[in-house]
Amino acid sequence: MDEVIDLICGKEDLDFKELERSTRYEGFDKNHQVVKWFWEVLHALDYDQKKKFLLFSTGSDRSPLRGLKDLRFILSRQAPDDLRIPSTHTCFNHFLLPEYSSKEILRSKLL
């Protein structure tokens, strides 16, 4: 029965290392400083904050049946702008991240 619930609702296991490994980038690459800050901030979040991030960026606070590696998450670069907040296209799991000037600004805007 648990497998059926996981299939319909998704899994509650949130392995953000899997998500990081499977993320595709547009305008950034995985070695860009803002991308490094982004993953440092996400990995430091507690479980409830990670669920809220997923809900904001994908429309669901659960992972696909086989885990976050199957999410097909896209992280896109927006113009440098410390005042802008991130935005998303939830239907496409597409997260639009402004190019912030510091990790602290990124963290505050993400939260």
End-to-end CA distance of the chain: 35
**Residue-level length of the chain:** 111
Catalytic annotation, residues:
91
Q: What angle do CA 16, 17, 21 make, to 5 degrees?
A: 115
Closest CA to 95 of 65, 53, 64: 53
Q: What angle do CA 47, 76, 24 make, to 5 degrees?
A: 75
